[in-house]
Amino acid sequence: MILHPQHTYVHLAEDGAARALSAAGFWQLPEAEADQNGQGWLISEYEFVEDWPTWEMHPEGDEFVYLLSGAVELLLDRAGTIERIFVDGSGAVVVPRGVWHTAKVCIPSRMLHVTRGAGTQTRPV
């Protein structure tokens, strides 16, 4: 089976099992179902043509952010000090758990994300 992470997320459960989840409506799931999916690692891919509209934070684990193409500036809010990390073409950044982060899109980009979904929080930019 071929998976396309833009349309189908992959959930890696604590017991080592992997299963496909439809990306359509994933973030609108009922809280109990979302929490169940958040207990493992979630792999997803997004295409960005404009800046992220929110900051996000993952309290349950680090996030591996892999730029597949394009160029972005990741902003990490470290206790009120903004760290800026420019990634161009391809490259990865590990965002530590509990660190608020967002991205400014310099060139339309595709990014692969691996994180624990449990407890993910967002706030407006």
Tokens 């590990």 identify what position? 94
Cβ neighbourhood burial of 24 (10 Å; 0-12, 13-18, 19+) = exposed
Structural domain boundaries of the chain? 8-124
Residue 37: per-residue pLDDT: 56
Q: How do residues 8-64 score in pLDDT, each as one tens digit? A: 888 888 888 888 887 766 656 666 665 555 578 889 999 999 999 999 999 999 999
Query: For residue 30, how many C-alpha atoms fall within 13 Å in the half-sphere facing its CB?
Result: 2
Angle at 125 between CA 60 and CA 111, to 5 degrees: 60
Residue 100: per-residue pLDDT: 98
Tokens 């490259």 identify what position? 91
The CATH number of 8-124, from 3.40.50.1980, 2.60.120.10, 2.60.40.420, 1.10.510.10, is: 2.60.120.10
What is the number of residues in the chain?
125
Q: How many angstroms separate the Cα of 57 from the Cα of each of 7, 17, 101?
A: 22, 25, 6
Quote the pTM value: 0.85
Residue 46: per-residue pLDDT: 92
